[in-house]
Structures are given as structure tokens and as C-alpha cells.
Structure 1
Amino acid sequence: GEELEASYIISRIRGILPGIVEEKAAPTGAFGTISSDVYSFTGMMREQLYEKKEEGNDDDLKELAVLYSLYRDKKALADEAAGYSDVEDKLSDDATLAAQKGLFVQSVSKLEEYAGCEYKYFLNYMLRLRERDSYQLDQMQFGNVMHGALEKVFRKMDEKDPKDTYLNWVQADDAALSAKMKEAIDTEFRAMSDELLSPEGEIIAEGRNRYIMKNIYELGDRTIKNLGMQIRGGEMSPRFYENKFNQRDDFASTSIAVPGVAGNVKLEGKIDRVDILDKGDTIYLRVIDYKTGNKDFSYSDLFYGKQLQLTVYLSVMVEKVKKIYKNLGRDVKVVPVGMYYNPVKDPYVEKPDSLDEEAIEKAIRRELRLKGLTGEEPEYQEMQEKGITDPERRLEGPADILGMDFYSKAYKGNPPGSPKGTHVLVNEDDFENIESFAGVKIKELAGDMLKGSIRRNPFTDGRNKTCDFCKYNDICRFDQVNRGDRAVYIKSDDEKAFQTISNIGGAAKNSGKVE
């Protein structure tokens, strides 16, 4: 079947009515109809045949037969229920051994998916079940077009000297960036099909594809202008684009030893963008991951293994950049100053009281700020957003580039001008502890994977759960109503998660190894 997607209308309603209270109906069984009675009967039948068969007797079977006779016209449904058995939580020993060879190389995104639901990972990457072919542009293609176009623009702006690259961005106005982005998106669409664009670059696709393509062009235009503003507003220069790492790279952060297993698990991935600032003996560095949906950094999600990418990418690039400069004859210190999700979206915002276009644009760009962790040193903040450490500036309102809001007056021990949120500013020890914790979590996930664990363990925050829009619902049959399945409840407590991450990561770092 096709993967379910949340209606885009929902996000629009949220944007128009930001104060609306959302409620999610809990799944409940239906009773009192012919259909519901059949389901109730088949559920009882399954319980008798499978869950209580060892304690059944002839009287039970006779009673079941009588009830069954009342539903002769529903025999197929009853037979299907009788033949249904629950899925296993673990692969057999033979299957585990057979699968292990293909599990020793893992992308970080796949590990995140395994953390979100082991059974979904099993169906997607081990059984390789795929949706039926579609000739429509889908969400993945949407993301691929944007990533590919952005890479092309950044490579066109790139120079051998990072300072010259930065100068190119400073000198490029919005019109020039828009033209480059339009050309890059054209190239991406032409590579997909010759039935999407005319030779002159006009959209000739029809229906849904035409609508999506127009949205991509509009989104690309907004995105490149916003990225240009972010780069001009700081001092860091884009340096690495769609940078890959794999099992052939000799990085300590990508080779994970798993207890009881011969050989290390090797990580691979692709980092959207890395910016640097060369200060002679020190190279300052930040990693950026483009996200076409809504994505905020969360210590709670990191704790559960659902947000490992930024942390692993940061570790990899610190090692890689140091190695690159060493090969150039420079022994430099590489200092991380930030790791961020960069929203690639066209947000809906609450309309300001004023109709001033500048105010509206500012509100939109506020939704497109970098989301993640920033080095707490004032110097690190300034190199990413000029003027942001000025106390008077902080009292004027939120940051324009970094995803920080500030208290306008003292609040619960926080002085005016201090950032809101949970540890959005972190020191060098914090970065190291977070990186060490990610290694611990990866080792845990890889260990479960290599042991053949394929539990159906989706997460829920009380409103949404991992499997709400999962394409494997019909196979998995995760059912909270009729079978009592339960999702893993995540309580979003970033402060508690941060402390736990710091303790576990700090212990692993101090021991000199990831345990």
C-alpha cells in the first residue's frame, strides 16, 4: 500500500489559528453494529484458539461453534482472524546470523529509524518491502530536488580560499541567488524527466506534478535568499557540501565496537553542509542538516536515539577537518561552535498587527532560523550572528539567524537578555559529552540489531506516535484497541534528558572508551 501522509491542510490551519487547541481521539472499539459484533466475535475466537488454547475444554469449543454458526456469512473474516498470529520480537538464530553481514555497515539515519521502531526497520531494510511504483512526485523526490539544487548553487559559489567563498556570498544580492537557484532546480527536474519542463524552462507538467513543481520553485527561491542572509549575517564560510563518509574512512567516531560481536559496526552518511572560520591555529566549525519538514533539536529525542545525525556529523567533521589541514602541513585545533537543523520550508505565520511587508518577512524568517545547539562563548555566537551578544540587541527581540529567543526581563533566575530554552548554549565539555553519549546509544542500538531484535516499539508523546503515518501498518497490525499493543511513551523533559546525557556521556568520555 501507499504511505499515509498528514493532510497539508492541518499545517495551514495551525498557521492561521496558532492558538487553536488540538485534541486527538483515543482509539476505541465500536459496538452495537453488525460489523462491530463480527469483530468482537473474531477477537474472542482468536483469543480462544491461540491465547487460551492450553486451558480450553470441549464445552468451550462447543460454545464457540454455536457462536460461530451465527456468523456463517462472515466465515472468511472469521477464518482470517483464526489464522492470524502475532509477529515475533526476535529473529531466529539462523536468520540473525544470515542477516548480520549486511548490518555491519549502517547509515546514521537508518539507526535513527531503528530507534523509532525496530520492526519498521526490519520490513524496510532487511525484507526490503517497497511501495508500488508511482509516477507522481513524492516527498522523497521533493527533498532530493531541493538538496541537489542547493548543492549546485553552493558549489558554484565555492572558491579554493574560504575567504573568497565568503566574499562571493557577501557580494551576491537576492536577485543573483534567485537566478542561480532557478537554474539549479531546472537541472534537477530535467534529470528526472523530459516531460516536466519545456526547453525554455517553463513547467509543462500537469495536475499534481505541476502544483508540486511550482511549490518547489517558490520554496527554493525563499530558501536560497534566507541562506544568503544567514551567511552574510555571520563570518563563517560554507566549505563542505553533501560530504560523504563511509566504512573506508579511518575515523574513530564511525567505528563502533559491539560487545560479543566480532568486528566493528561502520557508520556512513552524507552531511549537507559544513561551514568553517579559519583563524590560523584554530578552525571553527559548524554542521548544518537541511530539513524539508518541521524539525527541532530535542535532548529527549537524542536520549532515545531518534536524533543522532547532528552529533555524529559533528564528530566526523572535527576529525576530518583536522586530518585535511594536517595533510596541508597545518597542525590546527578544530573547535565546534554549532550543530543545526536548517528548515527548508515556506512557513505560515501569525499575521502581525501591522501590514508592513518588512515585519511580515521578519516573522517568516524567524521560523527559518538555525535550530540546534550553539557554543556558549560570545566569540562563537558572534561569528554566526554579528551583534547577537550585545545586551541591548538581545532586549530588542529574538535572534535573526540563530534559533534563540531572549527574556525581556528577569525570569526564574534568568537575567534579562538570557536565552530561553533548555541548554541552547553549550560549552566544550557539553559538546564532548553529547558526542560520547551518541556513541553509547549507537552501540546499544547496533547491539540490539545484531542480536536480531525486531520489536514493534513505536514511540508516542501522547498525541502522535511513530506508526500514525507508517506505510507498513497493514503488515504490522499494531493495534492498541483489539490486541492491547502499547507504544513507548516519551515524556518530553529536555532538562532531565540533558542531565542524563551529560552523566552517561561524561562517564564514557572519562573512561577513555564508549561503553
Structure 2
Amino acid sequence: MRIYTGRSSLMEPAMIRVLRRGMEAGEKDHIVVVPKQLTLQTERMLLSALALKGSFRLLVLSPERLCGRIFEAAGQPEGARVDERGRVMLVRAAVRSVDDRLVLYHGASARRGFAERCARQLELIRQAGLTPDRLFACACQAEGMLRMKLDDLGIILEAYESLLEGRYQDGETEFAEAVDRAGDAGFLRDACVLFYGFDLAPPSLHRLMAAVAAACPDTHVFLPLANDESARDFDTYLPLKGCLERLTVAARRADVWPERVMVEADGPSDDHRLSLGAPRQAPELARLSGELFAFPVSPSPSPKAPTRVQAVTLRDPMEECRFAAALCRRLAMKNDWRWNDMLILCRDIDGYRQPLKEAFRAYGVPLFLSASRAASRHPLAESLTDALRLAEAAPRTEDALALLRAGYMPLERDEANRLANFIEKYALKPWALLRPLRRGNEAEREALEPVRARFAAPISALKQRMQRARTLKDQLTAVYGFLEDIDAADQLRDRLNALAAVGLMEQAGEEGQVFNRIVGALDQMAELMGDRPLPVAELRQTLTESLDAAIIKPLPQSGDAVYAQTTDRITAQRVKALLILGETDQPGTDTDGLLNPAQTQQFSRLARAWLGSDGMELSRMRRFYLKTAVEMAGEYLCVSAPLSALDGGAQHPGALLALVKGVFPALSVRGGISDDTGVQWMLRGAPAAAAASAARSLGALDEGEPAEAWDTAALAGLMQVSPAPQDADVCRALAQIDMALRRGESADALNPETARALYGALRRQSISRLEQYARCPFAYFTRYGLKPERIEPFQLNVQDEGTFFHNAVHEFLLASMEDLNRLDGDEAGRRMDGIADRLLDTMEAEGPLGDSAVALAERRRLKATARTCAAVLAGHMQGSRFAPAALETDFGTEDGVARLTVNAVTGECTLEGRIDRIDEWAEGGYLRVIDYKRGGKPLALDEVWHGLSLQLPVYLAAALKKRGEQSAGVYYFGLDEGIMAIQSTDPGEVEQARLDHFRLTGLAPDDLALLEAQSPNFQQVLNVKVNTGGTLRKGTLATDANGFQALMNRTLKKAGEHLDGIRAGQVNVAPSQFRQQNACQYCDWRDICQFDERLDGRKGE
């Protein structure tokens, strides 16, 4: 065995030289063994480097495939082979079988993810060759939490190996059997075997390498380990030094005496030294490769900033990915590079998956993401687990909704959405979906019953088969029957073909894998789990954990593409450009087993074996991977970091940017919060990307902001885009922008006749409708013209609460008409309790309140709030000369000559509505109007002036015209809990704050006598304050009779203008914008108009 050591950049050329010489020297077969994820990449690299179109003498194998070749030549071991899915199943079964003996992990088998993590920990233990007895011995020497963990792991390992014994082969057993049989594999004796691309190989792989070397004298191992232990950066290579030592020990135990060959960039060559010459690398990159993670660092003496090394900070990961795509496009065009000459590394490759896809698609750059995901996250696997949940004894509504929306049930998308809306609207329980519909009106039931039946049929069949199942095999057959009932295989094939037809080959490849992963998991369950049937919940959890361990990998396409992978993996192929994304100071994941790094370190010391990386080794390996990547880059390097995460949280650049700047002090970090000119020009370098930025830039122009040079150039370039097929997406985007910019011209109005057909003649109109039009004409058109149906979940909502409080206060006042002005707070609360109980009983029996624990808590809250409101109402009326004169008073056409009308330009209209309460001082001839509000904001006179707030002035006008008295004010009374944020703990101050909180807000009269008539303590009842001189304090909303009249006149005038606009057919998307508030903020119809203040040419008014 020859072990070649040297820096990472030298390992590839060293391996190619050995391979070339061997293939030129004779007819031996050459077997290159690489990690599984590098097989295809290495095969392509070797064919290119050796100028071969193919060769029967050259094989690239993973260690697992090498074991398979050994078994083919030397005999198959006993026992069925199990993969990661089967391993997790067996570990789960082992944990369950010894659960009563476990201490720390007792009951852990019920936790999702435990079996997978435990399987990973047992894998490390078995790779080190430890037995249960060795584990128990280590536990005796350990203390605290580690002792309990090792004791439990020893018990689990004993049970797991008992399940394996003589029946199954997992990865470690397979390696051990291959080690035993390697000497009998004849093909090894006459072959040349090269192990390449491995860094921290586990002990089991070292034993396999040694066994192969014992059988094959021509064995070579390439290990990326710097030879000079005095090098300033050698600390980074310490984990690889330990790996070399462990490999040497394993080889000597197999009677193999390894020979170390040091690979260097310069110097003479001999039997123990191989000189290859320095790899081609730009001088700046060569300097960075040597100085990165070196101590002490030797900064570049050049006063000039490097041109081949860049550092950038961007706003967020999305902008970072757009920058990466634009940079790849620019480098390819400028240097005539192929896409696969560029590599992207990202620590959080899963988190960056979607931003990378979207950004590279926008810039027209092909991308291959080497990021796998668990099969359990595929919609088909989720559909299967949701269906199994529905077959359990206590299914959940959210599982039914998830199954509906996954897209695999025999329903059209529109049908699934309509049935989902029906479920939410009527709060259907899952079991109700398996029977004919009973809720809803006849038309709804008639339309949706066939849809429900098709949805329920596969679930009912699954449930019945599971109930009839007598063995686990019967249960698994029932599960497979469900997949057949929904035509899962055909649906996946159709999706695969559709994705492939539009060029999404990576996603198509994933669709092609998932069915095999699911069926494979079912087969292994049948093989491994025995005959005893499982509870449905346990079967579902076992299947889910098995699919968690089953990986769906994207398959590399034959076409040219930029490659993207995680930074936590060795970079084995040279590239011209390297982009490292997401380099923030966020910590990485330390372990996926059951022991933390500190416990791993202590366990390794006790066992005198390598059992995974401890914290220090993990840190060194992260540095090693980054250093390896930089060494493999030949022409250009860019390191970037986002200033905020995908969720908006602040991020800070990581140590790598600081280290790069330490090597190149003159380097300037580009980007940041302020616009970097070069970055902005590059981000608009592709038509699709320029089209996306055009929306923002045109919106800024419409606001009067000056255009930036890069935006002007991008817009000019977009004018030249032709309607060619390759630019179809860009043309569609431009058309959408054009429509948005012209929205103020093209979609402003309906024909008045059309408006009349939609709304009628509008001889009567409510105030709430007019206020809706004032907020946004399009919202009015949507709600009262188009009339879309809103699906409200069948649960307590704001409207239900408002109705309850209005009814409760109404009944309380009716019951208290005789003594309200003398009623104390305690009696008012008791009276309200009886009223509230009666109303809440009705809501519980007939409405959405229900009888759950949450509903009982809501009941207590509603009742307490009603009690508080009653006490406050009574307090407001004590000593008042006013008394309630009318409750829930309607006004409108039934008032005859006293009705309130608006004389609009387009014709007269009667205003109608309902006034919550009118209080009257009969002797004085005054009345006041009070409207109840559940939350909301106080009366704002500027909003009244602009016609945005009409309700209170119109109510006052209607009451005065109806009753013929004078105004004593118009007010809001807040119906809430009276919860306030206050620092004081003084009871008097708290009580005063509570009284202030419940004061009536609105417009009061400026007559002190009239204010005192409303309450002797009017400053505590009304939102008014009096100076010591007896005058109203500045800022108090108060006026005289003329002011009230002017307010009402202005309101009626604005109401007439709104009516004219409605009758004229105005439907423009013009949300009101007032005092930094936009009507879109709480609009129910925002998704329909899709108004964007950055995009739309016409803003709200």
C-alpha cells in the first residue's frame, strides 16, 4: 500500500499520474474507489483527463459497490442487505424491545427522529469495532449524563445486533464481511486499486482499505495532508494526521506495511517523494491558498487591491444569490468559460436552495444543486402519512386539509380547493368526510358530494383494509393498495414528463426516485419487522422515520451547469472560479448523533478509538474544507455574506471575510446597505433580472425619485428585447409592468349602465359601504359588484365577538332603563353575568363557540369583558341628566319625511344605518349619539374632512333629524377588556388609568354646563380636559352648534361625491393613503388587485 500525502490541490494530479502510468504499463484493471457522492463527478473528470471516451479497464466505484464486487467474486454473506431505511427500522424495533430497561432513553422510540439519530450513533460505534461489553466498560468509567447515555446505548446495541445476527447485513456488517472475503476475491490480485477523495474515513473503511491492500499489492491511497508539520497552517490538517495514523495501524494489523509518498509542488522526485510542479493558479489565489488559516499570517505587501479575490456583502440571501448568478454569467461571457468551470459553495445549501434556483433561472444560468433531501418531505410521501393519520382512531382536520392540497388525491385542483373551503367553513371533522355531507345548504351539498365521495373512497378503502389486516404484511399491502387507488405511479410519471418537457431535469429526477424509495421502505418493513400487526400510528411513524433516512438526490445532467454544494464536504475537482456564499457568523451543526462533541471526545478517549469528530476537530475540518476549496480554484474567488437572513433577522459577516481581508489589507468589501455601483450594474445584466428591477425603478420614478444610471441603461436595454421564444418570459414580465403602469388609465371605470346593473339605482345606501368606497373604489367594486365569497373558518372570530358584545350591552341597557343612573358597578356586573351566560349558551349550542378547553377559556374572557363594560357603563351614567332614549335605532326610508338624504349630482339617495344608542336630556332638549366599537381608532376630524370617516357625523345628523333636538356630542364607547400597559403599582394610579382608558372618545360640545349635564365627573367620562380657569384644554375635540352643523354638512357633501363616483362606475385601484397608513394594510381583497405601491403607476389618494 502506498499512501500519497500532500496538499489538496496536488491529490488530483497525483492520482491521475499514477493512473495514467499504470494504464500505459500493462493490461491491469484499474479500480478508483471514491465516496458515493463523487462517483459520477470523478468518472467524468478521469475520462477528460485521460482523453478517454470510455474504458473497460477503468472502473469508478463507491466503497459499497466495491464490497458488492468482492461478494460476487468470493461469495455472498448470509443475511439480507438493509440500507439506511432498514437500519432505522431495526434500531426502532431494538429500542422498543428494551424500552423497559432504558433510563435516559425510556420512551424515546415514540419521538420522531430519535431512531434515525440513534442509528447514526450506533453506526459510529460499530465502525470503531466496539461491542456492547466495551460500551458497558466505558460507561463504568464515565460520569453523569455520558454514563447514562453509554449504558442505554450498550443495551440498544445489544438488542440491535441480536436482530441482525445471521439474518441481515447493514453497512458495518457488510464492510466486515468484505474485509474477511477480500483475500478470496481474485479480481483484486491482478488489479490496481486507488482510494481517492476520502478525508476523515471511519475505522471500518480503513480496515477495508487494509484488506484490499493485503489482497492487491498495487493499492494506492490519496490523503490530502500537508507534509510539512512545521507549516504555519498545519493546525488545519491535524484531523488528517490522525486519520493517517489510524489507517497505518489498520494496515499493520492486516500485515500490510504502508509506504508513504510525499507529494510536493517542487523539488526532486524519488521513491518516497513525488514532485508534480505547482498547480496553475493565479498569483493572488496562490497567496491566499498559502496564507488562509496560517498563523501568523503574512499579509500581501501590495498597496493595490486584488483583482482575482473579491469580498461582497449583500442585503439578504435572495440578493446574494442574484449577485452570484449575475457574476457567473459575467465570468462566462467575459472569459469564454464553461458553466462547470465555476463552483458555488454554501454552508446552508438547503436554506439557499430556493433562492439559488430562482436567481439562476432569472439570469439564464444552468445550475446543478448537489443537495439531497429526505424522501419523507416529498408531497407523495406526505400524502401517504396524512392518509394513515386519517385511518387512525383520532384523525385531525389539518391532516385532511393537507392531503387535499398535496395534489395526489383523485380530484382536480379546483375541486380540492372547494372541498377544503367547505371543510373550514363548516368545521367538518375528518370522520364526517367519510359519510355523505349533512352541513351546508342543498346547493353546496349537491355540488360537493361527488367530490367528497372521490376523496373519501381511497381513504375508506385504506381504513377498511387496515381494520381487516391480521399481519404486518396485510397492513403494508393495504398501504400499497392506497398508492394504487390514487394512481401514484402514473401521477409521478406524468409529473416527471411534464418537468422534463420544460427542461427541469433535476426536479424530474426527484420525481423518478420517490416511488422507489416508498416501495423500498415498505419492502424492508415486511422483511424486517416480523408478522405482528402494528398499531396504525406506530406503523405510520416507523414508515415516516424510514423515509426520513431515505434520501432523494438530484442527478447530475449531461449538460453544462454551475455546480453548487455544501462547504462541509471536500472539493475534489479543480475549477476556474469559486463563489462562497452565506459566510456569516452563525454556528454550524455540530453533530447528528446522540452525543455532543464534548461527550464524543471523552468517549473516544475512554474507548481508545475514533468515534466521530469532537468540537475542535469539527472546527478544524470546516477550515480544512474551505482551504481545500480555495486551493482548487484557479482564476477567481468571491466570498459573500448577507446582512439579513431569509426571515429578516440581522446577520453579521463571518470570520472568512476577515481572514481574506487580513491576507489582502487593500481589499475593499463591496456592496453593503448602500448601493455599490458595480454590483448594481451587474445585477441588471440579464433581461429577466433587468425586468424584475424595472418594476422597482419605475415605481421610484413615479414617486419623483431620480433614476439611477444602471436603471436607465437597463430600461433602455429592455426596449430592444425581441419577442423571440427564448425571451418569452421577459416579454410577459414587461407586459405586466406596462399594464400596472397604465392601470390608472385602463381600469378606472365601468360603463355607468354596467355600474347600475351591478349596484342598482342606489336610491338608498349604507354608511359602511360609502366608507369602503372612500378607502378604495376597487375594493368597493370587488365586495359589492363581484361579490366573492369569503370562507371564514367555523370558529370564534372578530365578527362573532362584536355581535356578542353588541347584544350583551343592548340587553343590559334594556334591563337597566329604570335604574341605570343609580346602578353601582357590582350590581351591573352581576346583571351582565346573567345576560352573558344566556347569550354564550346559545353560541355554544348553535354557533362557533363549542365546548373545548379553548372554547371554555374564550367564554370566560368574553364574559369578563362584558362584565367590565357593564360596570363602566353604569359608572358613566351615575349622576347624569342623560338617559338612554333609543337602542339599536334604524334610520332610512322608513322615516318618511324625517329620513336623511343626500342630494348628489347624479340624484337623491337616502342614507341608512343603525345607531347603537341615543341618550337624551329631555328637559334640556339635547341628545348624544354613542356607537360601540370593538377596538378600532378614535374619531379623526381630518379623516372626516376627506370623506374617509363618515359614520359618527351621519349618525348624529340622522338622530337630530329624527328627534328634532340639539347635539350634545357624538362618541365611541370601546368594548374591550381594559388591559393596559402601565408601570405604576399604585392602586389609585391604576384605577385612574383604567377610567381614562374607558372614556368616551369623539366630538364633545364646548359648553361646560352641557358637559356637566352628561356627567358630574365629565373629565373622567368624556375625553375632555379643563384648565384651572374653566376653559377647555387645547387639543380637546369640542365644538359649538355651528361646528356640529358644519361637520355634518361636510360629511353629507363627501357622501354625495362618493355616490356620484359609484354611479359613474369608478373602480380604479386607488387605496387611500393617509398619515402613513394605507388602506391596503387590512384589505380583504388585496390578493385580487395585487396593488404594489412600488410598482403601480397610480398611487392611492
- Asked if Structure 1 and Structure 2 have the same fold, meaning a TM-score greater than 0.5 normalized by the shorter chain, the answer is yes
Partner residue of 2:986?
356
2:933 aligned to which of 284, 291, 299: 291
Match of 2:999 in 1: 369
Q: Mean Cα displacement is larger for which, 225-234 or 126-135?
A: 126-135
CA–CA distance in structure 1, aligned partners of residues 1048 and 752 of structure 2? 33
What is the distance in 2 between the residues matched to 1:62 and 1:157? 77
Q: Give the secondary structure class of the aligned counterpart of 2:928.
A: strand
C-alpha displacement at 1:232, in angstroms?
Answer: 0.6
Rounded Cα–Cα distance in structure 2 between residues aligned with 1:120 and 1:204: 33
Runs of 4+ in 1 over 6 A off after TM superposition: 44-47, 56-59, 77-80, 82-85
Q: Please name the residue that 2:619 is paired with.
A: none
Contact 2:971–2:1002 (Cα < 8 Å) also in 1: yes
Answering whether residue 1086 of structure 2 is matched by residue 455 of structure 1, we say no
Which letter maps to 1:143?
G
Q: 1:62 corresponds to which letter in structure 2?
A: S
Tell me what 2:893 maps to: 247
**Aligned equivalent of 2:910, options 266, 269, 276:** 266
Identify the residue that residue 227 of structure 2 maps to in structure 1. Answer: none
Give the letter aligned to residue 320 of structure 1.
K
Amino acid across the alignment from 1:433:
A
| Greater Cα radius of gyration, structure 1 or 2 | 2
Superposition deviation, residue 312 in structure 1: 1.3
The secondary structure found in structure 2 opposite 1:372 is strand
Q: Which residue of 1 aligns with 2:1022?
A: 402
Q: Which residue of 2 aligns with 1:103?
A: 762
CA spacing shift, 1:358–1:44, aligned 2, 3 Å: closer
Alignment partners' CA distance in 2, 1:207 and 1:120: 38
Q: Counterpart of 1:124?
A: 783
Contact 1:253 1:439 (8 Å CA) reproduced? no
Q: For 1:312 and 1:371, locate their aligned partners in 2 and report how far apart those are by CA, in whole Å.
A: 16
SS at match of 1:453: coil
How many angstroms apart in 2 are the aligned matches of 1:157 and 1:299?
33
Which deviates more, 57-66 or 245-254? Answer: 57-66
Seen in structure 2, the aligned counterparts of structure 1 residues 251 and 141 have a Cα distance that, compared at 3 Å, is farther
2:787 is equivalent to residue 145 of structure 1: no
Whole-angstrom distance in 2 between the partners of 1:429 and 1:94: 40
Task: Specify the alignment match of 1:419 in structure 2.
Answer: 1033
Q: Structure 2 counterpart of 1:337, which letter?
A: A
For each residue in 1:200-226, what CA deviation from the matched residue of structure 2 results, as whole angstroms up to 9, or x when unmatched? xxx863265444433221211111111
Once residues 58 and 336 of structure 1 are traced to their aligned partners in structure 2, the CA distance between those partners, rounded to angstroms, is 63
Which residue of 1 is the match for residue 1079 of structure 2?
466
Q: CA separation in 2, counterparts of 1:100 and 1:427?
A: 38
Deviation at 1:316, TM superposition (A): 1.4
Q: Kindly provide the CA deviation profile for residues 402-424 of structure 1, in whole angstroms up to 9, marking residues without a partner as x.
A: 1013457xxxxxx68532315x2
Question: 2:975 corresponds to which residue?
Answer: 344
Q: CA contact under 8 A between 2:763 and 2:909: conserved in structure 1?
A: yes
CA RMSD, Structure 1 to Structure 2 (Å): 3.4
Partner of 1:480: 1093
**In structure 1, what is the Cα distance between the partners aligned to 2:859 and 2:761?**
37
Q: 1:321 to 1:252 in 2, by over 3 A?
A: closer
Contact 2:899-2:962 at 8 Å conserved across structures: no
C-alpha distance in 1 between matches for 2:1062 and 2:1085:
19
- Any conservation in 2 of the 1:245–1:269 contact (CA below 8 Å)? yes
8 Å Cα contact 2:1070-2:1098 kept in structure 1: no
2:966 aligned with 1:335, yes or no? Answer: yes
Matches within 5 A, 1:162-311: 165=818, 168-194=819-845, 205-206=851-852, 209-251=855-897, 254-261=900-907, 264-279=908-923, 282-311=924-953
Determine the structure 2 residue equivalent to 1:442.
1055
Higher relative contact order (CA closer than 8 Å, sequence separation 6+): 1
Residues in 2 aligned to 1:436 and 1:311: alpha-carbon distance in whole angstroms: 9
Cα-to-partner distance string for 1:122-165 (whole Å, 9 max, x where unaligned):
1112222221131111111111110011111111122xxxxxx3
Residues 110 and 207 (structure 1 numbering): CA distance in 2 closer, same or farther, change over 3 Å? farther
Closer/same/farther in 2, CA of residues 287 and 260 from structure 1, 3 Å limit: closer
Q: Give the 3 Å change call, closer, same or farther, for CA 251–457 of structure 1 in structure 2.
A: farther
> Residue 174 of structure 1 aligns to which amino acid in structure 2?
G
Report the secondary structure of 1:194's partner residue. helix
SS of residue in 1 equivalent to 2:845: coil
User: What residue ranges of structure 1 are gaps of 5+ in the alignment?
Assistant: 1-28, 48-55, 159-164, 198-202, 323-333, 389-398, 409-414, 489-515
Tell me, what secondary structure is at the counterpart of 1:314?
Answer: helix
1:338 Cα deviation from its structure 2 partner: 1.0
2-structure distance, mates of 1:278, 1:446: 36
Q: 1:444 to 1:406 in 2, by over 3 A?
A: same
Q: Secondary structure at the match of 1:186?
A: helix
SS in 2 for 1:339: strand
- Superposition deviation, residue 484 in structure 1: 4.3
Letter aligned with residue 386 of structure 1: P
Give the aligned partner of residue 60 of structure 1.
720
Change (3 A) 1:251 1:358: farther
**Corresponding residue for 2:753?**
94
CA deviations over 1:257-285 (Å, ceiling 9, x no partner): 22244xx2111100000101111xx4210
CA contact (8 A) 2:813 2:820 kept: no
1:113 to partner: Cα distance? 1.5
SS class of match (1:257): strand
Deviations 1:266-309 (A, max 9, x none): 11100000101111xx4210000011113211111101212211
Whether the 8 Å contact between 2:928 and 2:967 is mirrored in structure 1 is yes
Shift of residue 253, structure 1, vs aligned partner: 5.8
How far apart, in 2, do the equivalents of 1:42 and 1:210 lie? Answer: 54
Secondary structure of 1:103's counterpart equals coil
